[in-house]
A and B are shown apart, each in its own frame.
Chain A
Amino acid sequence: MSAITADRVSAVPSAPRGTRTYRSLSWVATHAIGIAVGVVFVVPFGFIILTALMTDQQALTSNLWPTSWHPENFVEVFNKAPLFSYLLNSLMYSVLATAFMLISSVPAAYALARFQFRWRNALFLAVIAMMVLPPQITQVPIYLMWAKGNLTGTLWPLILPNLLGDAFSIFLLRQFLLTIPEEYADAARIDGCSEWRVMTSIILPMAKPAIAATGMFMFFASWNDYYGPLLYTSENTAHWTVSLGLAQFRTAHQVQWNLSMAATLLVMLPVMVLFFFAQKAFVEGVTLTGVKG
């Protein structure tokens, strides 16, 4: 995957008339538009932060700037809703789902990408079908299975299936594993490596970036998931995740927009921090989803 850097495009020639004034004019225009669009993307966050620092009375007026500042709102949020419990539940869901997904999906993707067998293409088509079909289509029987096992009301119906593979992750990993030349594996086989060693000590180390990206996608997807927790845990507040808790927050606390916005920011924070630490792997992963499709 090519690293995304702007300098590769800088060579795109400007208009054929290429005079200096024209070029500098278009430079100014592109940058002006670029910055203006950037402002549109970011200004909402500004309003959210300002509102989170207001009193609830101020938040109900059309003042955009706080008349007095109340950073203690961010503490108050924890008193109003069991945010710590939501965070713990979200963390448990995301970490376990990601770990389980990696255990099951990396080997499956490896087999699908690097071995030839009769049903390989049919199997891959099934993986794509699982990935694209809306979850509502198969929801009734799956819900009934978990209800029989008395696991509805918890997050386990969302965590445990990852032990048996996740379609999107298998797809993504397979796409990357295809790009590693088979010669590496053959060389190792000639040297007497078992298939297990070929996989674990030759091929998978080369796929580290893809494995990291896939793991991060899974982590983000489960952290952000709303449909799953709503379906299984909406009756049982002890198992609520941050997404579910946040959606209920404003309803439960009337129109306290200031606290709602403070809670919103607190929910956004962990993924933002994670993103800044792993930006490169993440962007490359997003690219992987599109280019090979």
Chain B
Amino acid sequence: MSIDDTAAAPLTGGAARRGLVKSKTRRSARSERNRFAALMLAPALLGMLIFFVYPLVATLGFSFTRFDLVSSPQWVGLRNYRYFLHEDPLVWPAIRNTLWLTVVMVPSRLLFGLACAGIVTNIKRGSGVLRTLYYLPALAPPVATTVAFVFLFNPATGPVNTILGWVGIDGPLWFNSTTWSKPSLVLLGLWGVGDLMIILMASLLDVPKEQYEAASLDGANGPQRFRYVTLPNISPVLLFAVITGVINMLKYFTEAVVASQVASGRANQGEGTATTLGYPSHSTLTFSQWVYQEGFTNFYLGYASALAVIMFLATIGFIVLLLRRSKSFVEGGRS
């Protein structure tokens, strides 16, 4: 991320300008400024300590305990981690589903979003209307679009399978099938591609048009112009989109929870014990849902903390790996 390049510019300019202020008043002005900045930051700093720093440390502490909210935490050493590594049957489904969704959802959303952005930027008349239409599903509450989507893909009477039936295709069970539940979630993700599309659209519009003209004069055709003009110009935004896409998959929760709940026709809470997370048979259980389930429906808070620590390490690892790998991609693009 190149945030600090932009950060430096106005401030150094301002600092140089500030040199003009009379040196006599400079020291007192400076301490006034520092006091003011500290005052403005104080609430957010407090929030950071209470809602981020302390919970991070405390989570690590709880991960070495057995703890169920009723009795006080009991030190068990590394037992939670050993259970994770050797015994828990949900480890593999949770990791596999999270990876599956990341590997499929992120690239397909990126490609589809780029295609939509390309269409909207290449249309002269009515592009505003099209942009709104494309963006509409991304705007609606995810719970609403998920409920609607499960209805549309309802195997017996849903419109999708009805229409597939007209052309002689026997539609799958979609959200009720272990093989199709994750692809169905990807389709839902594609329907809501609008926010990504807007970001990509803005980056496409920022490509200097002189470069296209120059490439055309050199005899570049459409695909070549995309490869040698468009792609290098938008590569920083593409990287940003991949990183946020991966993070969103690590956070992935609402769509999967609501889809499994609506498709199974059972409640997630109320009685407190019945849970439909991952329906059908753990095929949509992702890591973030798993942490929620162990912590707040089973109340194994110690184990949930251990899972959270593992999730923290995995997230950091993912981001570092992506940034390392992509350095050449983005910098190569800039030159």
Q: Hey, which bits of chain A sit against chain B, CB under 8 A?
A: 1-2, 4, 6-13, 15-16, 30-31, 33-35, 37-38, 41-42, 44-45, 47-48, 51, 59-62, 64, 104-105, 107-108, 110-117, 121, 123-124, 126-130, 132-145, 147, 161, 163-165, 170, 175, 178-183, 185-186, 189-190, 194-196, 199, 220, 223-224, 226-227, 230-231, 234-235, 242-244, 246-252, 254-255, 257, 260-261, 264, 267-268, 271-272, 275, 279, 283, 286-287, 289-293
| Residue on A nearest B36 in the bound complex, by CB | A195
Q: How long is the Cα–Cα vector from A51 to B154 in the complex, in angstroms?
A: 13
Chain B 14-58, CB-CB to A under 8 Å as 1, else 0, gives: 110110010000000100111011111101111110111011101
With contacts defined as CB atoms under 8 Å apart, how many contacts are there between chain A and chain B in the complex? 343
Beyond A136-B308, A186-B18, whether A44 also contacts B137 by CB under 8 A is: yes
**Chain A contact residues, majority secondary structure:** helix
A291 & B203 in contact (Cβ 8 Å cutoff): yes
B295 & A30 in contact (Cβ 8 Å cutoff): no
A178 & B136 in contact (Cβ 8 Å cutoff): no
Q: Which residues of A contact B157 (CB under 8 A)?
A: 59-62
Q: Number of contacting residues on B, CB 8 A?
A: 125
B140 & A272 in contact (Cβ 8 Å cutoff): yes
Interface assignment of B175: CB less than 8 Å from any CB of chain A: no
Interface assignment of B319: CB less than 8 Å from any CB of chain A: yes
B237 & A290 in contact (Cβ 8 Å cutoff): yes
Beyond A41-B136, A267-B141, A267-B144, whether A181 also contacts B10 by CB under 8 A is: yes
Closest 9 A/B residue pairs (Cβ): A182-B14, A164-B47, A290-B199, A165-B44, A138-B55, A108-B44, A141-B58, A107-B40, A6-B127
B168–chain A nearest beta-carbon distance, Å = 15
Q: How long is the Cα–Cα vector from A58 to B115 in the complex, in angstroms?
A: 37
Beyond A16-B216, A108-B41, A272-B136, whether A34 also contacts B204 by CB under 8 A is: no
Beyond A4-B205, A134-B315, A234-B269, whether A243 also contacts B247 by CB under 8 A is: no
Q: Choose among A37, A123, A252, A260 the residue that contacts B147 (Cβ–Cβ < 8 A).
A: A260
Interface assignment of B173: CB less than 8 Å from any CB of chain A: no
Interface assignment of B254: CB less than 8 Å from any CB of chain A: yes
B47 & A246 in contact (Cβ 8 Å cutoff): no
Interface assignment of B212: CB less than 8 Å from any CB of chain A: yes
15 A-B contacts, Cβ less than 8 Å apart?
A16-B221, A34-B119, A127-B48, A132-B319, A133-B315, A135-B251, A136-B291, A141-B54, A142-B51, A170-B44, A195-B33, A251-B267, A267-B144, A286-B198, A290-B240
